[in-house]
Amino acid sequence: MEFSELLPAKEQHVTRLTKLLQSLCEDEKAVQEALLQIVRESEMLESDVAMRVGGARREIRALIDSLQKSSTLLEFNHPLALQALCAAWRHPIGVAKSQIAELIDAANAALALLEDNQPDYGRRDFAYQIAKILQNMLEIRPVVSQCHPDIINGKRGGAAYERVLRESMRLAGIMPPTDLRDLMRTGLRLLNGDARGDQV
């Protein structure tokens, strides 16, 4: 997609975002690649949140199917197979069935969460994508910080994640909240492969 294909209403956001990225990174090629990727991500957030959530739901449904099949396979036809597994595992087969049932219940609850919070999950994924672009394309380490005047002092990287995320949300047609810290924390958790929040 060429930037010239953008609607006029989007051009001002792209211009601001371009200037912001240029102030953070001297590599013009990297800036242009990052900008193009952010435009793509903003379009997906604006028009295709359901598709993102749909992909996550499909993965969880596939997990549920696999777990149900595993539970069925634990109904061994041959008693020697059951005996050998329990002897090697040192637990009765009921423990495995119980744990699988818990996972299935959790997965079904996760499906409900995804359905009820589609906009939230879309924005969380967007925050992750912006953090990944900063880190991988612009070589800027995204951190949770706020865009206060005492932070933005002319040095490269000041509150970079917050500033780029805020402008990118505007490009997606979303008015960003005053405080983006929770959203940024979630983005960094996903970036670090820490969906539970143990690290951030």
pLDDT band at 174 (very low <50, low <70, confident <90, very high): confident
Instruction: Compute the distance between CA of residue 144 and CA of residue 14 in angstroms, rounded to an integer.
Output: 23
Instruction: Compute the distance between CA of residue 148 and CA of residue 200 in angstroms, rounded to an integer.
Output: 21
Number of domains in the chain: 2
Asked if residue 155 is part of any domain, the answer here is yes
Taking only the tens place, the pLDDT of each residue in 129-149 is 999 999 999 999 999 986 654
pLDDT band at 16 (very low <50, low <70, confident <90, very high): very high
Question: Whose CA is closest to 185, among 145, 150, 136?
Answer: 145
What does the pLDDT read at residue 145?
81
Asked if residue 157 is part of any domain, the answer here is yes
What does the pLDDT read at residue 111?
86
Task: Tell me, yes or no, whether 47 and 122 share the same domain.
Answer: yes
Task: Tell me, yes or no, whether 14 and 65 share the same domain.
Answer: no
Domain boundary among 74, 94, 116: 116
Instruction: Compute the distance between CA of residue 77 and CA of residue 133 in angstroms, rounded to an integer.
Output: 52
Range of the domain at 74: 53-116
Asked if residue 200 is part of any domain, the answer here is no
Task: Tell me, yes or no, whether 58 and 7 share the same domain.
Answer: no
Is 50 exceeded by the pLDDT of residue 151?
A: no
Instruction: Compute the distance between CA of residue 20 and CA of residue 40 in angstroms, rounded to an integer.
Output: 17
